[in-house]
Amino acid sequence: MPTLYQSRVGISLYDAQFTPDKAQRIPIPDQVIHSVVASLIQFKNTCSDFSVRSQNITVLATEATRTAINSEAFRKAIKDATAWDVTLLAKEDEGRVGAMGVASSLGYVGGLMMDLGGGSTQLTWIISHGRDGNLQLPQQGAVSMPFGAAALTKRLMDADREGGDSRQRFANEIRDTISQAYASLHVPDELVRAARQEGGFPLYLSGGGFRGWGFVLMSQHAVQPYPIPIINGFTASKEDFLNTSAVQASVAKESEEEEGDGVFRISERRASQVPAVAFLVTALSAALPHIKEVRFCQGGVREGFLYSTLSREVRAQSPLQVAVAPHSRDDNGLLSKILFDCIPDDTKGHDSPFRDISQDMINALAATMNTHSTYARDIRPSSALRFTTTGAMAAVHGLTHTERAMLALLLCERWGGDRDLPPTDQAFYAAMSSLLDPMTLWSVKLLGRMAGLVGTMYPAGRVGREQRVKVTSKWTKTKNENLVLHVDLQFRATQDKMTSRNPLDDVQEMVGSDIGRIGKMGKKKNWPGGREGSGCKVEVTVGTL
């Protein structure tokens, strides 16, 4: 569901209910209530500006409000000021809605899921195949545990005051609670079998505490500076996720530097919670079985609630296809077919360099390949490169970082690639390229160049009845079993009656540079990594229809 406006206020209702030393729980202070009410009044004005109907406004509250000493008075203050009722989510509903938020974050979800709030942590399993719009969760929704980021900080301070083995006993409590929660969820055989085949479960993480952890991992990624400033869709290995000492050291180092601004998107409050999150991460590593990798999700209760209101048919739509729909034309399907024909028939084989380029990605390329045609030539490749990170598709919900990098590089290559980028964007291009494995990067660059040729032949993106170009390709192998891609380009050309020119001479003048760029991808010096890198030989033949 596209977002029209977003706003966030830095108020932690959980933190507000404790004295500074975390020793005593208190009612939500009047000043905090005033701040919340003022924010909601401002939001009511925003809803009015966007002509939002009153029946479409829902105010949700989770554990911090549900368990507050003065919860009733707090909710009454909101009601008196805004006329809005506050809907309290039960523990089970909170977990279920949070899981839907994770399902909204990615096209396919299948694994374990944890949501780290201020006061509690939710654990569940989730299966969302995307294509059929179905979402599977445990009958109880999720197991709620009192180990939120702020709650953990308080418990650790209490343990330090007690001294002795209090910290170890608390660690054992977390480990045992998580283990019991996992056992009670009765993870379906479908997920267990998949985990055995893939080497472990994917663990989907949401909530502010985990997102903060993810931003720190971004700052430590092998690709630096990390090119995608969006937490949704970011993936980290189990080893990096569990390296709590490295994460804490990174945050501590940034905090000590007087002139530094700290880790990107890590506030002082989030930084103060890192030791508590590290404590939780260490405990869950001993409690949860065989985690292969972690995938960070932006979706939480808000996104999950909105997602739950959508029909199954709408939920079944591909996030990528919905995102590019405003850019597509009536002939998008015909353009997609031309681009799909650029790839050999065995593209789905495990050994094919094109195996990671999905039909959805080809459709997205067809829909957006002419989006930047109205831009000045000098900035087309740069604008295309940043299209999915800070451009028109930056706010799209539901894409992985691999999908963002792939589409950006396809479009950049369509408009000339790195050779036409200004120096300011060369490093960004290299960083985005590093997010793809070398052979996938080679195939993306080649398909992007083919899209450049197709775009030249159909500058308005309208194929119509006249087929101006037909592209076919096939694999062969050399004696040394090396792959060779044969690309056959057939153009509709008319003979100039006033001259004896060969029709292919006109083709060469129109798209000769595009054809040359396709052939150059078969040269080792142009492969990702150079002569010792990854790629295939390319042979191009040109003829007429």
* DSSP string across 436-504: S-HHHHHHHHHHHHHHHHHHHHSTTS---S---EEEEEEEEE-TT--EEEEEEEEE-----TTS---HH
| More confident call, 132 vs 99 | 99
| More confident call, 206 vs 330 | 206
User: What pLDDT does residue 261 have?
Assistant: 59
Question: Is residue 260 predicted with pLDDT exceeding 80?
Answer: no
Mean pLDDT for 289-310 is: 90
The confidence band for 540, taking pLDDT boundaries of 50, 70 and 90, is very high
Lowest-confidence range among 248-257, 337-346, 361-370, 376-385? 248-257
Question: Is residue 534 predicted with pLDDT exceeding 80?
Answer: yes
Question: Is residue 244 predicted with pLDDT exceeding 60?
Answer: yes
Question: Is residue 152 predicted with pLDDT exceeding 70?
Answer: yes
* Among 213, 215, 273, CA closest to 243: 213
| More confident call, 141 vs 71 | 71
Mean pLDDT for 213-231 is: 93
How many residues are present in the chain? 545
Nearest 10 degrees: Cα torsion 145, 149, 151, 157: 130
| AA letter at 127 | I
Mean pLDDT for 301-319 is: 89
> How far apart, in whole angstroms, are the C-alpha atoms of residue 204 and residue 107?
13
Mean pLDDT for 401-411 is: 97
Contact 329, 122 (CB under 8 A): no
H helical segments located in 325-436: 332-341, 359-368, 380-385, 401-414, 423-433
Contact 443, 357 (CB under 8 A): yes
Domains and CATH numbers, the chain: 15-88 (3.30.420.40), 91-308 (3.30.420.150), 319-544 (1.10.3210.10)
Which residues does residue 543 pair with via DSSP β-bridges, in sequence order?
490
The confidence band for 240, taking pLDDT boundaries of 50, 70 and 90, is very high
Question: Is residue 25 predicted with pLDDT exceeding 60?
Answer: yes
Lowest-confidence range among 39-53, 56-70, 397-411, 497-511? 497-511
Lowest-confidence range among 103-117, 223-237, 487-501, 514-528? 487-501
User: What pLDDT does residue 266 have?
Assistant: 66
User: What pLDDT does residue 117 have?
Assistant: 84
Report the mean per-residue pLDDT for the chain: 89
User: What pLDDT does residue 500 have?
Assistant: 55
Give every CB contact of residue 104 below 8 A, 6+ residues apart in sequence: 299, 303, 304, 306, 307, 397, 398
| AA letter at 523 | K
Centroid of chain to Cα 97 = 19
> How far apart, in whole angstroms, are the C-alpha atoms of residue 518 and residue 536?
12
Question: Is residue 450 predicted with pLDDT exceeding 90?
Answer: yes
User: What pLDDT does residue 107 have?
Assistant: 80
Contact 149, 276 (CB under 8 A): yes
> How far apart, in whole angstroms, are the C-alpha atoms of residue 116 and residue 207?
5
Lowest-confidence range among 222-226, 255-259, 499-503, 523-527? 255-259
